[in-house]
Amino acid sequence: MLYAQWEANPSTYNVGYAFVSDDGKSLPAAVLALLPSDDTDYADGSEVTTADLSGAEVVTAGGKWTFVEWDEDTKTIAGDNVIFTGTWTFTENEPDALTYNVGYTFVSDDGKSLPAPAALRRPATTAESGCGLPC
Protein backbone atom coordinates (compact mmCIF):
# COMPACT_ATOMS: atom_id res chain seq x y z
CA MET A 1 0.00 0.00 0.00
CA LEU A 2 0.99 3.49 -0.74
CA TYR A 3 0.06 6.40 1.51
CA ALA A 4 0.34 10.09 0.77
CA GLN A 5 1.19 12.57 3.43
CA TRP A 6 0.84 16.33 3.05
CA GLU A 7 2.58 18.89 5.11
CA ALA A 8 0.60 21.96 5.96
CA ASN A 9 2.06 25.18 4.67
CA PRO A 10 3.00 27.58 7.41
CA SER A 11 0.08 29.82 8.25
CA THR A 12 -0.05 33.17 6.54
CA TYR A 13 -1.91 36.24 7.62
CA ASN A 14 -3.47 39.24 5.96
CA VAL A 15 -3.43 42.98 6.54
CA GLY A 16 -6.63 45.00 6.34
CA TYR A 17 -7.50 48.68 6.53
CA ALA A 18 -10.48 50.54 7.97
CA PHE A 19 -11.44 54.22 8.16
CA VAL A 20 -13.38 56.05 10.88
CA SER A 21 -14.29 59.69 11.41
CA ASP A 22 -13.15 61.43 14.56
CA ASP A 23 -16.71 62.57 15.36
CA GLY A 24 -18.76 59.54 14.30
CA LYS A 25 -20.00 61.05 11.02
CA SER A 26 -20.45 58.70 8.09
CA LEU A 27 -17.56 58.85 5.67
CA PRO A 28 -18.42 59.68 2.06
CA ALA A 29 -17.75 57.21 -0.74
CA ALA A 30 -14.87 59.37 -2.02
CA VAL A 31 -13.04 58.86 1.28
CA LEU A 32 -13.80 55.13 1.42
CA ALA A 33 -12.43 54.80 -2.12
CA LEU A 34 -9.00 55.66 -0.67
CA LEU A 35 -8.95 52.55 1.55
CA PRO A 36 -5.69 50.76 0.79
CA SER A 37 -5.70 47.08 -0.06
CA ASP A 38 -2.94 44.57 0.57
CA ASP A 39 -3.13 41.13 -1.02
CA THR A 40 0.19 39.97 0.41
CA ASP A 41 0.27 36.85 2.56
CA TYR A 42 2.43 37.60 5.62
CA ALA A 43 4.23 35.04 7.74
CA ASP A 44 3.88 35.09 11.50
CA GLY A 45 6.32 37.59 13.00
CA SER A 46 6.36 39.85 9.93
CA GLU A 47 6.42 43.58 10.57
CA VAL A 48 3.95 45.51 8.42
CA THR A 49 3.96 49.26 7.74
CA THR A 50 0.85 51.27 6.90
CA ALA A 51 0.13 52.82 3.55
CA ASP A 52 1.12 56.49 3.40
CA LEU A 53 -1.96 58.73 3.34
CA SER A 54 -0.37 61.81 4.90
CA GLY A 55 -1.88 64.96 3.43
CA ALA A 56 -4.85 63.13 1.88
CA GLU A 57 -7.92 65.34 1.51
CA VAL A 58 -11.34 64.89 -0.03
CA VAL A 59 -13.45 67.96 -0.84
CA THR A 60 -17.23 67.54 -0.63
CA ALA A 61 -20.13 69.94 -1.09
CA GLY A 62 -20.28 70.83 2.61
CA GLY A 63 -16.58 70.92 3.45
CA LYS A 64 -13.35 68.96 3.43
CA TRP A 65 -12.31 65.58 4.87
CA THR A 66 -8.66 65.36 5.96
CA PHE A 67 -6.76 62.21 6.88
CA VAL A 68 -5.43 62.51 10.45
CA GLU A 69 -3.47 59.36 11.25
CA TRP A 70 -3.34 55.58 11.51
CA ASP A 71 -3.84 53.92 14.88
CA GLU A 72 -0.24 52.63 14.56
CA ASP A 73 2.50 53.12 11.96
CA THR A 74 3.63 49.50 12.09
CA LYS A 75 2.23 46.26 13.44
CA THR A 76 3.76 42.82 13.88
CA ILE A 77 1.86 39.73 12.73
CA ALA A 78 1.38 37.69 15.89
CA GLY A 79 -0.61 34.62 14.89
CA ASP A 80 -3.54 36.59 13.49
CA ASN A 81 -4.53 39.06 10.79
CA VAL A 82 -3.98 42.75 11.55
CA ILE A 83 -6.10 45.78 10.75
CA PHE A 84 -4.88 49.35 10.59
CA THR A 85 -7.54 51.96 11.40
CA GLY A 86 -7.18 55.43 9.90
CA THR A 87 -8.98 58.46 11.29
CA TRP A 88 -10.45 61.30 9.21
CA THR A 89 -11.70 64.71 10.34
CA PHE A 90 -14.30 66.92 8.68
CA THR A 91 -14.03 70.71 8.37
CA GLU A 92 -17.19 72.49 7.30
CA ASN A 93 -17.05 75.24 4.71
CA GLU A 94 -17.30 78.76 6.08
CA PRO A 95 -20.85 80.06 5.62
CA ASP A 96 -21.37 82.76 3.01
CA ALA A 97 -22.09 86.25 4.27
CA LEU A 98 -25.81 86.64 4.87
CA THR A 99 -27.70 89.28 2.93
CA TYR A 100 -31.11 90.68 3.62
CA ASN A 101 -33.57 92.61 1.51
CA VAL A 102 -35.17 95.65 3.11
CA GLY A 103 -38.42 97.23 1.98
CA TYR A 104 -40.38 100.26 3.14
CA THR A 105 -44.09 100.91 3.33
CA PHE A 106 -45.60 104.28 4.27
CA VAL A 107 -49.14 104.30 5.59
CA SER A 108 -51.27 106.96 7.17
CA ASP A 109 -52.55 106.40 10.67
CA ASP A 110 -56.13 107.12 9.60
CA GLY A 111 -56.23 104.73 6.61
CA LYS A 112 -56.33 107.49 3.98
CA SER A 113 -54.09 107.46 0.94
CA LEU A 114 -50.84 109.34 1.30
CA PRO A 115 -50.23 112.32 -0.93
CA ALA A 116 -47.89 111.69 -3.88
CA PRO A 117 -44.96 113.70 -2.39
CA ALA A 118 -44.88 111.42 0.67
CA ALA A 119 -44.76 108.28 -1.48
CA LEU A 120 -41.88 109.76 -3.48
CA ARG A 121 -39.81 110.10 -0.30
CA ARG A 122 -39.85 106.36 0.24
CA PRO A 123 -36.26 105.03 -0.03
CA ALA A 124 -35.57 102.43 -2.69
CA THR A 125 -35.74 98.86 -1.44
CA THR A 126 -32.58 96.80 -1.65
CA ALA A 127 -34.21 94.76 -4.44
CA GLU A 128 -34.89 97.96 -6.41
CA SER A 129 -31.39 99.32 -5.81
CA GLY A 130 -29.75 95.97 -6.66
CA CYS A 131 -28.02 95.93 -3.29
CA GLY A 132 -28.44 93.32 -0.60
CA LEU A 133 -27.19 94.38 2.80
CA PRO A 134 -24.39 94.96 3.56
CA CYS A 135 -23.79 97.27 0.58
pLDDT per position as a tens digit, 54-97: 999 999 988 999 999 999 999 999 999 999 999 999 999 988 76
The domain spans of the chain are 12-92, 96-135
- The pTM assigned to this predicted structure is 0.64
E-only strand ranges, the chain: 12-13, 15-21, 42-43, 47-49, 57-60, 63-70, 74-76, 82-92
| Class in CATH terms, 12-92 | alpha beta
